[in-house]
Structure 1
Amino acid sequence: HLAAGRWIIEHRTIPTTDPFSWTFAGSPWLAHEWLSEVLIAAAFQAGEWLGVAAMMATAFALSMAAMTRALMRRAVPRRALMLLPLVLLTFNPHLLARPHVLALLPMCLWVVHLMDRAEAGRSPSVWALPLIAVWSCLHGSFLLGLLLVPVFAFETILASPTARIRWTQLRGWTVFLLGSVAVCCATPLGPEALLFPFQVVGMNKSLALIGEWQSPNFQTFQAVEVWILLSLAIALLLKPEMRWTRVLLLLGVLHLALKHQRHADLLALLGPLVLIGPLNQALERCFPANHATVLDRIFLRMADPGRASVFVMAVGLAIAGMIAIKQTDLKPAAGNSPEAALAAVAQAGIEGPVFNHYNFGGYLIFRGIPTFIDGRADLFGDDFVSEVTDASKLGEKLVTLIERYQPGWTLLPPNSPAIWVLDNLPGWQRFYADDVAVVHRRIAADAPTGNAQPR
């Protein structure tokens, strides 16, 4: 993402062909998350990895602030805030320097606006359309935002008391939906932005190989399990009154979170907003709050956006956090960053294209080295991704792939079965090894320079 954003800033345009791999160089490819990538690159230029981390932390904090304000409008503070620890627990594994974190704020504001309008019996405002436009340039999850429009529209129409009002609501929500689709198509990517999420979801072979697209492993702790148990407890003990459209929405995001780990953040965002109203009413019915508690009054005072003490506290915490981070050597995870291996390759002057592991692709792009494969499965396609994955496990397929593409060296993790094959393959020699990566190079005098034909 950082390299793509850097490329966009340097060329003042969004790439339409692949500039990063040698196997598919020149093949059609669009940087669908281009705005996130530009922001990441700009943050890196301003403050290197500290700048990127600070930007992501700020985006997440603003998202949580927007959610908290929406919850506190629907419940007394102590009830509104009781769900936030679970929200933070769910988000924790997903707080990475990646585009989805930047998309959380427009996502939250969009959902809150739709809910507010539906609960007020009104169609959404056209002033909300820039939110979905920005969201579509930040992350592919914007398609969910479009799908939520008919859900809340249906809810509003069903709650309308007369046929005339129902037709008025239908017209208003339909115009808003069409406007939402139009502004998404008006971005630099055009209508292609709407097709990309469907393209990715349909890549079954590739998604089966990527951890974040797998179902959660409930042999270890999963926040999704807490959401399931909490929802069951609320339903059985408190018997909240929920609109059936909200029930279907909650079940839908729960299904996505159970199907793919990466969608747990959707549950963390939508779950509290859907549950808080009925939960507050049920708790009020079971445990009436005749007056605000001390805790309620404290949180209400802190929620005042004009209160100077809160601003000073926020600035102080931000400065303290920046100082603390500054004292650490902040950089990407070592497991996906074969820095020492690439330094050894450069020092030895090894030339030719590389056959790399999928997980090393992002770092190679960051270092300006054309990749054999990387995380852009939409570029490489199901067949190529599965072929390369099989080759990393099966010796015969690896030899076939190497003979076809003729790389000059390889970069693989130490636990790859392909290491043993290369150790025993004529014409290849182990050159470097550490805990992160193993490098093999050709030793034949007439070592090929690569066969990189775009597909």
Structure 2
Amino acid sequence: MTRLRQNPIAVLVSAEMVSFVTLIFICQLVMQTGIAPGLADPDYQWHLKAGELIAATGALPTGDPFSWTFEGQPWVLHEWLFQLLLYGVYSLGGEPAVLFMTALVGGAALFVAARLADRFIQRPLASCLLTLFFCVILVSFMAPRPHLFSYLFFGVQLGLLWRARYETKQGGLFLLPVLMVVWVNLHGGYFVGLAFLFAFAASESLRLLLVERVAPTGPGGGYLARLWIVLLLTLAASGVNPYGFGHLLYPLTVMQMEAISTISEWATLNFSDLKNLSFVVAFMGFVALMVGRRDKPDLTEILLPLVTVAAGIASARNAPFAVVIMVAYAGRFIGDGALLPLASAFGLDRRSAESQGDSLNPRIERLLNGLIVVLLAGYAIGASNSAQYFSRIAAFRPTELTDFIKQQDLQGRMMNEYGLGGHLIRDLYPERKVFIDGRADLYGDSFVLANHRATKQGENWRRHLDDWQIDYAVVQKQDAIAKLLYEAGDFALVFDGKIYEIYVRRGDKNGAVIQRFETTRTDGTPGNQGVKE
């Protein structure tokens, strides 16, 4: 395929471009079918509002502007660059542009992994298929949020390390500090990048100095010296952010919070979920390839994938990093003859390809590639403007609920459940501020856990509402607190939607709203007009 890289037109109709556009198409598809959250992700809403606030003021907020519970408290905007980018894209093209940007970044992350595999397979479309086998859990995270950039940058970092390791092109290592300057201002996943860079340097040092007994003064020693120098430079580059080096361990602090265990994307993988089960299947395939290669994998090729997979099992949020690693190293193992009979059957074996030659005339191949690129790119762009998708997203969002709050001018302090906060920020700020939202790092363990236990389990729910002097509560119908509020009687149900309900404390503050809108639950739950402890 090298002949196709001679000019820009050749690149556009190359197998590599077909692979890239296919992966973008897949990312677009999983969002539109609801497999991935896409624009329905509640955290997207407050990220967008934060970007709008930064753009309007030209500065980062020094205190929390969105909640009344933590108003003015220090808020670390470690994702400010993404938020500004998100708002810029939204300002230029609205939500269709945001949707396409999400598919583009997600597709790019997968494409980088596929290209790493293809360094050894040398069959771009086969590498694309290999990526699709591993990518289920990664594409399930498709949403306009900054973690997608971490998956992309992680792949780029691995590519630069591989160029130094397998191609002895070590000059590219010095791009890693530059990459880190951008990464540290986009997403907290930069800490994973630093940890992986350290693990790679340490593993390579053990491999060369202890296992292979390479002389420190030889070429191998120079390679190791560059790795450690680049690690120090990259560590220094992580301090180029609004909070300096005090921000270095911030992501680790967040990951150690007890409250994140209540958030599905941070919890340990639940293997009753099919997408999580696919991660196990992918790992089993990866191990089979590792065992089946001709030469034994070295220390780095064993240690790094296994550690990354373990991190992915411990926290679902880390699983996509493991996907990038597994795709890349799977290509390495296939290139070394892993499962050779199966590889030959699917045309993945380089020697088979070289002996047989191209099966298509180059002009026909370019024509077909170009047609595929046009069709898939056209679908991806067109799907970003799908009226059906946006009508479904509109139906999912609590617009009717927030319109009710604004139109009836509900007074006093609002309580809401965790997952709804982002939607409320987008629709109600600045006139009204939320009780809680997806910024668990801002609110801290005790507050997040207390709210989770009160809303989801009904634990100390009355004390929770009384301590914060709540005037009205916005809750999910399925939450334990919803039934408790309805049965207690000192809160009146005034809004009964498909997903959410609004309960207003009885009294003069919102008495007119209660008089006009008090209703009964559509599920037939019996009510009680008296106060019940």
TM-score tier (shorter)? 0.7 to 0.9
SS of the aligned residue for 2:262 comes to: coil
Give the Å deviation of 1:68: 2.6
The superposition leaves residues 344-393 of structure 1 with CA deviations (integer Å, 9 ceiling, x where unpaired) of 12221212221001110111111213111111111111111111112224
Q: Where in structure 2 are there 5+ consecutive unaligned residues?
A: 1-46, 512-533
Q: Partner residue of 1:186?
A: 240
In structure 2, the CA distance between the partners of 1:63 and 1:296, relative to structure 1 (3 Å rule), is farther
| Residues 8/295 of structure 1: CA separation in 2 closer, same or farther (3 Å cut) | farther
Distance in 2 between residues matched to 1:387 and 1:159, nearest whole Å: 51
Q: Aligned pair in 2 of structure 1 residues 235, 179: CA closer, same or farther (>3 Å)?
A: closer
Asked if structure 1 preserves the Cα contact closer than 8 Å seen for 2:457 and 2:479, the reply is no
1:137-148 residue pairs with structure 2 within 5 A? 137-148=185-196
Q: What is the match of residue 201 of structure 1?
A: 255
Cα deviation for residue 291 of structure 1 reads 4.2
1:36–1:99 CA contact under 8 A, matched in 2: yes
Structure 2: distance between partners of 1:153 and 1:243: 14
Structure 2 residue 382 is matched with structure 1 residue 323: yes
Partner of residue 23, structure 1: 69
Deviations 1:303-360 (A, max 9, x none): x9xx798677545533343233323244485687321111112221212221001110
Aligned to 2:68, the other structure's residue is in SS state: coil
Deviations 1:22-55 (A, max 9, x none): 0000111111111111111112212221111011
Q: Equivalent residue for 2:524? A: none
- Pick the aligned partner of 2:179 from 116, 126, 131: 131
Is the contact made by 1:119 and 1:156 (CA closer than 8 Å) also made in structure 2?
Answer: no
> Which piece of structure 1 moves more, 24-33 or 125-134?
125-134
Counterpart code for 1:102:
F
| Aligned residue among 392, 400, 411 for 1:340 | 400
Which stretch of the first structure deviates more once superposed, 26-35 or 100-109?
A: 100-109
Which residue in the other structure is 1:397 paired with? Answer: 460
Whole-Å Cα distance in 2 between the matches of residues 62 and 381 of structure 1? 34
Aligned partner letter, 1:95:
M
Contact 1:337–1:360 (8 Å) recurs in 2: no
Correspondence for 1:91 among 110, 126, 138: 138
Report whether the alignment pairs 1:292 with 2:353. Answer: yes
Q: 1:235 to 1:419 in 2, by over 3 A?
A: same
Taking the aligned partners of 1:299 and 1:265, their CA distance within structure 2 comes to 35
The 3 A distance-change label for structure 1 pair 301 and 383 is farther
State the partner residue of 2:526.
none
CA offsets 1:397-431 (integer angstroms, 9 cap, x no match): 22112222112211000011112222244542111
Answer yes or no: is 1:256 the counterpart of 2:305.
Answer: no
Alpha-carbon distance in structure 1 between the residues aligned to 2:406 and 2:326: 50
Task: Quote the offset at 1:149 in angstroms.
Answer: 2.0
SS at match of 1:53: helix
Query: In the TM superposition, what are the counterparts of 1:96-175 in structure 2 within 5 Å?
Result: 96-121=143-168, 123=170, 125-157=173-205, 158-159=207-208, 161-165=214-218, 167-175=221-229
SS at match of 2:503: strand
Distance 2:333 2:284 in 1: 17
SS at match of 1:355: strand
Q: Deviations over 1:46-93 (max 9, x none)?
A: 222111101111112222333333222222316534412213323221
Two-structure CA RMSD over aligned residues (Å): 3.0
Partner letter of residue 413 of structure 1?
Answer: Q
Partner Cα separation in structure 1 for residue 139 and residue 355 of structure 2: 30
C-alpha change, 1:353 and 1:300, in structure 2 (3 Å) is: farther
Amino acid at match of 1:202: Q
Q: Which runs of 4+ in 1 moved over 6 A?
A: 293-296, 298-302
2:445 paired residue among 382, 399, 404: 382
State the distance in 2 between where 1:217 and 1:7 align.
37
- CA deviation after TM superposition for structure 1 residue 257, in Å: 1.9
Provide the rounded CA distance (Å) in 1 between the counterparts of 2:128 and 2:188.
29
Q: Is the alpha carbon distance of 1:289 and 1:103 closer, same or farther for their aligned partners in structure 2, counting shifts above 3 Å?
A: closer
Q: Is the 8 A contact 2:203 2:303 kept in 1?
A: no
Cα distance in 2 for residues equivalent to 1:387 and 1:36: 30
Aligned partners of 1:10, 1:245: CA distance in 2, in Å? Answer: 48
> Is contact 2:200–2:304 with CA below 8 Å preserved after alignment?
no
Tell me the TM-score normalized by structure 1: 0.88
CA displacement at 1:237 relative to structure 2: 4.5
Taking the aligned partners of 1:73 and 1:133, their CA distance within structure 2 comes to 27
Instruction: Give the counterpart letter for 2:403 in structure 1.
Output: A
Specify whether residues 186 and 296 from structure 1 end up closer, same or farther in structure 2 by C-alpha distance, changes over 3 A only. farther
Query: CA contact under 8 A between 1:336 and 1:363: conserved in structure 2?
Result: no
Alignment match, 2:501: 438
Which of 88, 96, 100 lines up with 1:54 in the alignment?
100
Distance change in 2, residues 1:6/1:382 (3 Å)? same
- CA deviation after TM superposition for structure 1 residue 284, in Å: 8.3
Q: 2 CA distance for matches of 1:152 and 1:236?
A: 21
In structure 1, the residue matched to 2:41 is none
* Whole-Å separation in 1 of the counterparts to 2:85 and 2:318: 23
Structure 2 distance, partners of 1:394, 1:283, is 50
Q: Give the one of 23, 45, 53 matched to 2:91.
A: 45
**Separation (CA, whole Å) in 1 of partners of 2:475 and 2:250:** 30
Counterpart Cα distance in 2 of 1:13 and 1:316: 42
Name the CA distance, whole Å, in 1 between partners of 2:226 and 2:357: 38
Alpha-carbon distance change, 111 to 89 in structure 1, aligned in 2, over 3 angstroms: same
Q: What TM-score, normalized by structure 2, do the two folds share? A: 0.76
Q: State yes or no: 1:71 paired with 2:117.
A: yes
| Aligned-partner Cα distance in 1 for 2:384–2:197 | 40
Q: Secondary structure at the match of 2:387?
A: coil
Q: CA deviation at 1:122?
A: 6.2
Mapped to 1, the partners of 2:356 and 2:323 lie a distance apart of 24
- Aligned twin of 2:78: 32
How far apart are residue 152 of structure 1 and its match? 2.7
Task: Give the total of aligned pairs.
Answer: 444
- 250-259 vs 154-163, which deviates more? 154-163
